[in-house]
Copies of this chain bind each other. A is one copy, B any other.
Amino acid sequence: MTVAKEDVRTLAETARAASRALATIPSRQKDAAMLRMALHLRAAAPFILAANAEDVAAARKAGKNAAFIDRLLLDAQRLESMARAVEAVADLKDPVGEVTEQWTRPNGLQIRKVRLPLGVVLMIYESRPNVTSDAAALCLKSGNAVLLRGGSESARSNQAIAKALRQGLVEARLPENAIQVVPAGERESLLELLKLEGLIDLCIPRGGEGLIRFVAENARIPVVKHYKGVCHVYVHEAADLDMATRITVNAKASRPGVCNAAECLLVDRSVAERFLPKVGRVLVDKKVELRGCPTTVAVLSRAGIPVKPATEDDYGQEFLDLILAVRVVKDLDGALAHIARYGSEHTEAIVTGDAEVASRFTREVTASGVLWNASTRFNDGGELGLGAEIGISTSRLHAFGPMGLRELTSQKYVVHGSGQVR
């Protein structure tokens, strides 16, 4: 299907009109819509799963690999999780209208900072169809209209899901155009969307680096980027080495395909001899391939643990797989220098019993999440207690780290006077 420029603009204009209506709608009406959306996701299960089966068949035919198919695939259980996630967002506190601060000026002016929606959010993503309902619910709850631009691989699934969601909107007497799917697959229509300054307030790209670069290079609308996570675990000489092992193994192997998984282990020289064989054995048991610096290779080889020599490319690499780069560093300064050079400002962790060292690490490392004695996997909206996330920003502007409902709002100053003039 070809989408003309005018059609893309029309989509955005109808989203804008819907966003104006949404901005002041009471929470209970938005919540009611979300409950109806969840119901319709369940009721439409046969249609959604049939549409998804077509997408999956096409992907198989196109020779996509198993991981790709797994991300794309829906079943009854996954659909039920999507419906529950929408209900969970309905249960969260509405951020719109929240007074975040208030104070009174010497001249008697009462100042409040009040949250308001951003307006229209353009969500650009790749194969996972659950993003369609997750993003729609988060945007609706925060009073934003959303344009959903998923990948062409999941186009049928996304359309079927959006149809169910829109039925929920209509039944709650909310504007149906608050949730719209943009036809996928054409770079031209995406380019048009990215230029609609004044109609779209925020673009959130989630996906591969190529997609995100394309968006960043072509957008005239504000973009909050979700780049790769090249996350490190740094084991300091004062670490509890059992704890360090648990954290390293969890950070690398519990779910290697996600952005808060560790890609590189840094170990203080003074504990390398004791720690590397210990952690290496567990990692190898978990099928992790180790790529080490010369010292790492020497230590692990002596212990009979398989290891490859790391190349320069292995540092700063997001493997998204059961591969871990390992490097022995001199000390805290060495670790900080490595992270400043190779990190992606996503998530960094230190394991140490020394509070002063931890304090320097957490202060000096620039990353959206910095963890002391905990797995990198906790840099996640749900785990941090934000309720749900629309992504993890690696931009420092507007939002840094997991973006929840609050990060989908802005704040205005509301001033109450009694006739004050300057």
Contact = CB atoms under 8 A, between A and B. Distances in A.
A387 to B, nearest CB: 13
Contacts of A411: 400-401
Contact of A220 (B118, B202, B217, B240): B217
Interface string A364-395: 10111111111101110001110000000001
A304 interface: no
Interface string A47-82: 000000000000000000000000000000000000
A14 interface: no
A340 interface: yes
Contacts of A42: none
What does DSSP make chain A's interface, helix, strand, loop or mixed? mixed
Interface in A378-422: 378-379, 383-385, 395-398, 400-402, 410-422
Contact of A370 (B378, B379, B396, B414): B414
Nearest to A360: B24
B384 A410 contact: no
Contacts of A251: 421
B372 A417 contact: yes
Interface string A107-142: 001010010101100000000000000000000000
A383 B105 contact: yes
Interface in A230-255: 240, 243, 246-247, 249-251, 254
Nearest to A395: B222
Interface in A329-344: 340
A143 to B, nearest CB: 11
A187 interface: no
A11 interface: no
Given A109-B378, A197-B216, A385-B103, A412 B20 contact: no
A97 interface: yes
Nearest to A347: B413
A221 to B, nearest CB: 9
A418 B103 contact: no
Nearest to A249: B421
A172 B386 CA distance: 41
A397 B398 contact: yes
Contacts of A420: 373-375, 378
Nearest to A250: B421
Pairs A-B, 10 closest by C-beta atoms: A374-B417, A250-B421, A396-B410, A243-B419, A398-B398, A222-B397, A371-B415, A377-B422, A369-B413, A373-B417
Given A116-B396, A224-B397, A402-B413, 16 more contacts: A97-B363, A109-B383, A243-B419, A362-B414, A369-B413, A370-B414, A371-B414, A372-B416, A373-B418, A374-B415, A375-B422, A377-B422, A396-B410, A398-B398, A400-B411, A401-B412
